Chains A and B, each alone.
Chain A
Amino acid sequence: MKRRRGTFRMFELLGIPPQVLLGQLLLGLINGSFYAVLSLGLAVIFGLLNIINFAHGALYMMGAFVAWMLLHYLGIGYWPALILAPLITGAFGILLERTMLSRLYHLDHLYGLLLTFGLALIIQGLFRNYYGISGLPYQIPDLLSGGNNLGFMFLPNYRAWVVVASAIVCLATWFIIEKTRLGAYLRAATENPVLVGAFGINVPLLIMLTYGFGVALAGFAGVLAAPIYSVNPNMGADMIIVVFAVVVIGGMGSIMGAILTGYVLGLVEGLTRVFYPEGSAVVIFVIMAIVLLIKPEGLFGKAA
C-alpha cells in the first residue's frame, strides 16, 4: 500500500503522459539515426585517413542541397536522389581527397582538421551566397506521406522510414567493413598501410574510395534530412558539433561504437527533453565531458 502510494506520487510528480515520453523517444531515435550515419562516416574516414573530417557537416548539407537541386533543376525526385545525391557528394569528396587531402597524409592530424574546417566554411559560404539562409522546402515523397496511429502515438511514415533506412545503411556499412574481403583490406590498411601496400594492394586507391564513401554517407544523411529539416546552408554546422561530441564519446575508429553511440545519445537527448527540457541541448556535451574525464579514448575506443 505504501509502495503503491509512492509510485503514484512519483508519477504525479513527473506528470508525464506516455504519449509525450514515446514521442520524444521517437524524436530522439530520429536524431540518433542522423548522429549514427554521420559519426559512422567520420569514424570510417578517421580510421584509414587519420583525418578528422570537419567538412562532414558541410557535405551532409550538400547532400540535402543536391537532392533539392536535382528536383528543382532536373525534376529528379526523392527516390533517385537517395542514390544520386550520395554518389555526387561522394564524387565531390573524392575530388577534395585527390586535390587536397592526399597532400596532408604525412603531416599531423591537425592539418587535416584545419583544411577540412576551411573547406566547410567555404562550402557553407558558397551555398549561403546563392541560396540564402531562410531554408528551402523539400516535400516528403508521396509514398511516405501520412502516418499511422499506433494507439499510444501517431507515427509519421517518413520518420519511420528515416529510422529504418539509416539502420539499414549502418548495418550494411558495418557488414562490409567487418565481414568482407574489401573490409579486411580496409582494416588492415588502417593498422599498417605500408605492409598492405607491400602485398600489392593499392592503398592510395583504397584511401580515396574510403573518403568518397564516408562523404557519400554524409550525403545520404543529408537527403534523408531534407524533408524533415528545411534545406539550408547551416543545417550541417548545427549538426556537426553534436556529431563530433558523439564521436568523442564513442571513441574514434570503432565502427559499431560510432553507430551505437549515435543512436543511444539521440535517445538520451530525447529523454532529457522529457524530464529536463532545459538540459536537452547540452546533455550530450555534459556526457562528453564526463567520458573525457573518465575514459579519454571514448567508450568504444582503444587506448592509444
Chain B
Amino acid sequence: MSDKASDGALLRVEGLQGWYGESHVLHGIDFTVNPGEVVTLLGRNGAGKTSTLLGIMGILPRREGSVRFNGNEIIGLQPRQIARLGIAICPEERGIFASLNVEENLMLPPRIADGGLSVERIFDLFPNLKERRRSQGTKLSGGEQQMLAIARILRTGAKLLLLDEPTEGLAPVIVQQIGRTIAALKNEGFTIVLVEQNFRFAASVADRHYVVDQGRVIDMIPNADLQANMDKLHAYLGV
C-alpha cells in the first residue's frame, strides 16, 4: 500500500472505520478502484457493504481512517462537499422523491462538472423514463424507479458512481437491462463501485470483486479468476 498522495487510483480506501451511534459497523475497510473500473463489494447481509458506500459519501455519522479520491483526502468532508468533487450515490432504497415527478427527480442533482450525460442520452438509455416524465416519481414500477435513481446521477458530471444493490428485488429482464446499462456506462468512462448480493450479476459486469465480511475486506478476486475461486466465494457468502 502506498502512502503517496496520488498513485493512479481514483478511489483509495484505507482502514475505514465507521459507527452508527454506539454500533461499530466498519472495522477497517481497504480497497482501491482505478479509473474506468467496475468493482463490486460482495458479502453477506450486514457485512458492511452499504455502510462502506455511506462512509465514502460522508453520510455515515462517524468515520475514521482514510478515503482518498483523486489523491485528495475526503474523510473529513461533508456529503455535499464530497458530491461536489465528483462522487454520486444511488442508494439501496433508491430515494425517489414522491413529491417530485420523474423529470424533476431526474433534474434534481445539480451539475458539478462537465462531461455528464445529456438528457437525450439518458432517455436513450432509459426510454421508459421519457414516456413517464410527468408521472409522480414513486408511481413508477420498482424497475423504473431503479433506472431513475441511476439515471439522475449520470447527468451531473460525477465520475465515480456508487450503486447500492441496483438489482435488488427486480425481475430478470430488468436486471439484464441494468447490466447492459452498467456496461454502457463503463464504455462512457464512468468508474463504478457496485454493492451486490447477486454475484452472478456482479460477475457479468465487474472487473474485480472485493469480499466484505464483518466490516473488513477479506479478499479480492479479479473477475477473470472468479470460476477458479468459486468454492472460496461460496464459503465467504454462505450460499
Interface residues of A (CB under 8 A from B): 181, 184-185, 187-188, 190-192, 194-203
Which residue of chain B lies nearest to A302 when distances are taken between CB atoms in the complex? B98
Closest 10 A-B residue pairs measured CB to CB?
Answer: A200-B83, A199-B109, A187-B99, A198-B79, A195-B95, A184-B104, A188-B97, A197-B79, A200-B84, A197-B80
Instruction: Please state if B99 and A197 are interface contacts (CB–CB under 8 Å).
Output: no
**Of B83, B97, B112, B153, which one neighbours A187 at CB under 8 angstroms?**
B97
B221 contacts partner chain A, Cβ-Cβ < 8 Å? no
B residues less than 8 Å from A199 (CB atoms): 80, 83, 88, 108-110, 153, 156
B78 contacts partner chain A, Cβ-Cβ < 8 Å? yes
Q: How far is the CA of A195 from the CA of B93 in the complex (A)?
A: 11
Instruction: Please state if A191 and B107 are interface contacts (CB–CB under 8 Å).
Output: no
B89 contacts partner chain A, Cβ-Cβ < 8 Å? yes
Q: How far is the CA of A103 from the CA of B33 in the complex (A)?
A: 38
A residues less than 8 Å from B112 (CB atoms): 200
B71 contacts partner chain A, Cβ-Cβ < 8 Å? no
A residues less than 8 Å from B82 (CB atoms): 198
* Distance of A24 from chain B, by nearest CB (Å): 37
A184-B108, A199-B108, A199-B110 known; A194 and B79 CB under 8 Å? yes
Instruction: Please state if A192 and B156 are interface contacts (CB–CB under 8 Å).
Output: no
**Of B59, B88, B97, which one neighbours A194 at CB under 8 angstroms?**
B59
* Distance of A266 from chain B, by nearest CB (Å): 27
Instruction: Please state if A187 and B100 are interface contacts (CB–CB under 8 Å).
Output: yes
A184-B107, A185-B108 known; A201 and B99 CB under 8 Å? no
**Of A185, A187, A197, which one neighbours B78 at CB under 8 angstroms?**
A197
Q: How far is the CA of A194 from the CA of B107 in the complex (A)?
A: 17
Q: How far is the CA of A202 from the CA of B79 in the complex (A)?
A: 10
B residues less than 8 Å from A203 (CB atoms): 80
Q: How far is the CA of A184 from the CA of B106 in the complex (A)?
A: 11
B160 contacts partner chain A, Cβ-Cβ < 8 Å? no
B57 contacts partner chain A, Cβ-Cβ < 8 Å? yes
Which residue of chain B lies nearest to A192 when distances are taken between CB atoms in the complex? B95
B116 contacts partner chain A, Cβ-Cβ < 8 Å? no
Of A181, A184, A194, A203, most B-chain CB atoms within 10 Å: A184
**Of B57, B89, B97, which one neighbours A191 at CB under 8 angstroms?**
B97
Q: Which residues of B, 79-127, contact A by the 8 Å Cβ criterion?
A: 79-80, 82-84, 88-89, 91, 95, 97-100, 104, 107-110, 112
Q: Is the interface of B mostly helix, strand, loop or mixed?
A: loop
Q: How far is the CA of A197 from the CA of B95 in the complex (A)?
A: 12
* Distance of B157 from chain A, by nearest CB (Å): 10
**Of B80, B99, B107, which one neighbours A198 at CB under 8 angstroms?**
B80
Which residue of chain A lies nearest to B85 when distances are taken between CB atoms in the complex? A200
Which residue of chain B lies nearest to A184 when distances are taken between CB atoms in the complex? B104
* Distance of B198 from chain A, by nearest CB (Å): 24
Cβ contacts A to B, 14 pairs, < 8 Å: A181-B107, A184-B107, A187-B97, A188-B99, A188-B108, A190-B99, A194-B59, A196-B108, A197-B78, A197-B79, A197-B83, A199-B80, A199-B153, A201-B80
Q: Residue-by-residue, is B125-169 near A (CB-CB < 8 Å gives 1, otherwise 0)?
A: 000000000000000000000000000010010000000000000
**Of B59, B80, B100, which one neighbours A200 at CB under 8 angstroms?**
B80
Q: How far is the CA of A299 from the CA of B79 in the complex (A)?
A: 37
* Distance of B129 from chain A, by nearest CB (Å): 16
Of A184, A190, A192, A199, most B-chain CB atoms within 10 Å: A199
**Of B79, B88, B97, which one neighbours A192 at CB under 8 angstroms?**
B97
Q: How far is the CA of A194 from the CA of B109 in the complex (A)?
A: 13
A residues less than 8 Å from B110 (CB atoms): 199-201
Q: How far is the CA of A153 from the CA of B90 in the complex (A)?
A: 61
Which residue of chain B lies nearest to A198 when distances are taken between CB atoms in the complex? B79
Q: How far is the CA of A187 from the CA of B107 in the complex (A)?
A: 13
